[in-house]
Structure 1
Amino acid sequence: MKEYLLLHFIYDPTKPALIKAFPPLPEHGLEFFPKGLVTSVNQRTGEVKKEPRNTVFGQPVSRINFVMPAEDYVMIRVIFHTGGLFRLLRVPLTEFTDKKTDAEAVINREVQLVNDRLANTASYVDMIEIVEQYLLEKTRQVKSDRHAVDKIGTLLLHNPTRFSLDWLADQACLSPRQLERKFVERMGIGPKLFGRIARFHKAFLWKEAHPQADWLSVAVNFGYTDFHHLFKDFKEFAGVTPNTLLSEYARSPEKILRLV
């Protein structure tokens, strides 16, 4: 496991619905929703659905808008290291690319038992411990077969513009075609697209943390050829202009709701 994200919101149901803009992030893993369920809207396909209580989520490539429930809401997201979900499930991650799948159908009913325990504790520390104990038990059953391609994914995650495909393939002792095939199997998408998503995410987070910086400086700092190159990625992954995405993030539930 790479990290956990725990969110707990108490939202006044008499207020207008809150929407969380969620462009693609370079990550995959598991989610537990012990309290409250969100409704997701895929901006690319238009699909609207209520998310399962427990989900396996693969590498996203489309923007999703989450409509937050007007109730007590708790979410625990488990983010895996690159290649980690493949090693846990032993299923090509193309099966989960750009979607969330009911974890009970992928793993078994034990994930709902974990969710039941989460719903019956008010301690955040205990919640993380419950999930961690479950995952540690699961990982004991997994062979430790971290592939060179997983390390390539980590390189791209931290330095998405620094390396050429030929250089990456050489580091993995694979041909470019072999690298592409193994990367898609273990990550759900190819290394080029993964690197683009990682760069887009890093650029946006940096701009959000440095609001005084202009977008041209952001583009240059993160290896875009010019502002229009950056603008194109924002339109593809976020569906809106860079400044519009900043405005939407400023209205995100975690920024305006009272954290319990």
Structure 2
Amino acid sequence: MIYQRIPPQPALQAFVKEYLLLHFVYDPAKPTLVKAFPPLPEHGLEFFPKGLVTSDNPLTGEVKKAPRNAVFGQQVSRINFVMPAEDYVMIRVIFHAGGLFRLLRIPLTEFTDKKIDAEAVINQEVRQVNDRLANTINYREMIAIVEHYLLGKIRRVKSDIHAADKIGAILLHNPTRFSLDWLADQACLSPRQLERKFVERMGIGPKLFGRIARFHKAFLWKEANPEADWLSVAVKFGYTDFHHLFKDFKEFAGVTPNTLLSESARSPEKVLRLT
């Protein structure tokens, strides 16, 4: 099994944060693998050259297959991914804050909490990229194929990083309880201007984006520090108390903090690494 985060080449670093490469072959006779997927503060592109996951929204009950190539926006609700019992390869291109908007020039509100067929949004080039990915077993070549495609797209992008993108980067790095007025001051914009531009370029407002980023950081830190109690986690990440943290977990993950830890321990990348 391969589960690897890969940095982009220098020419793409202004747009792309990293790639996530996942490859496994799973025995269909074994129990189905399900990945609990609460919101992450990220957006980008996904390629599925082999195998397709099925997404299950526990809130709405909607179940559907992922498109072969997808544009994904900012997730705000929990999804369960039912993993295929077959040869499965995924490459996720994770952009910096505002990077996907700069590439597509489409308001990111169109993609909030959605995965949309990339062929319908961009063009059929992405299908050709996916076909090339499916015809190689070399991981370096896979990343090279994706980067060649991205370089061709980014060379035609003329827009620069906006102040709202920089606020997104601030919230990703340190998602504490900044006021909208303070953030707007850092961007040299009015609060209304910042809110409008941020929503356009990130798909949601800065307050919600910061909450998702903090929830994600808090959970990752707790996973890495299992001996810490939840109150210590809450204090470390700027929650007023444990109940404040608990409320965010229930909103974004739909379960208690400890239940999410248990679900995460059964994630495919963790289960398969142990076998």
TM-score range, shorter chain: over 0.9
CA contact (8 A) 1:37 1:51 kept: yes
Partners of 1:220 and 1:9 lie apart in 2 by 38
Once the 2 structures are TM-superposed, how far is the Cα of residue 162 of structure 1 from its aligned partner?
5.1
Identity of aligned residues (%): 86
Aligned length: 260
Which moves more between the two structures, 249-258 or 78-87?
Answer: 249-258
Partners of 1:202 and 1:253 lie apart in 2 by 21
Q: TM-score, normalised by structure 2?
A: 0.93
Partners of 1:43 and 1:256 lie apart in 2 by 22
Match of 2:12 in 1: none
Match of 2:201 in 1: 186
Partners of 2:239 and 2:205 lie apart in 1 by 19
Partners of 1:17 and 1:172 lie apart in 2 by 47
One-letter amino acid of the counterpart of residue 111, structure 1: V
1:61 and 2:84 are equivalent in the alignment: no
Match of 1:248 in 2: 263
Match of 1:25 in 2: 40
CA contact (8 A) 1:9 1:258 kept: no
One-letter amino acid of the counterpart of residue 235, structure 2: V
Once the 2 structures are TM-superposed, how far is the Cα of residue 258 of structure 1 from its aligned partner?
4.8
Which moves more between the two structures, 239-248 or 168-177?
Answer: 168-177
Does the residue aligned with 1:138 lie in a helix, a strand or coil? helix
Partners of 2:114 and 2:95 lie apart in 1 by 16
One-letter amino acid of the counterpart of residue 27, structure 1: E
Question: Which one of the candidate residues 134, 139, 154 is aligned to 2:149?
Answer: 134
Once the 2 structures are TM-superposed, how far is the Cα of residue 14 of structure 1 from its aligned partner?
0.6
Does the residue aligned with 1:257 lie in a helix, a strand or coil? helix
Counterparts of 1:42-53 in structure 2, within 5 Å, are 42-53=57-68
Deviations 1:32-72 (A, max 9, x none): 00000000011222211000000000000000000000100
Gapped regions of structure 2 (runs ≥ 5): 1-15
CA-based RMSD? 1.2
Counterparts of 1:159-178 in structure 2, within 5 Å, are 159-161=174-176, 163-178=178-193
1:97 and 2:112 are equivalent in the alignment: yes
CA contact (8 A) 1:10 1:258 kept: no
Partners of 1:144 and 1:169 lie apart in 2 by 21
One-letter amino acid of the counterpart of residue 220, structure 2: L
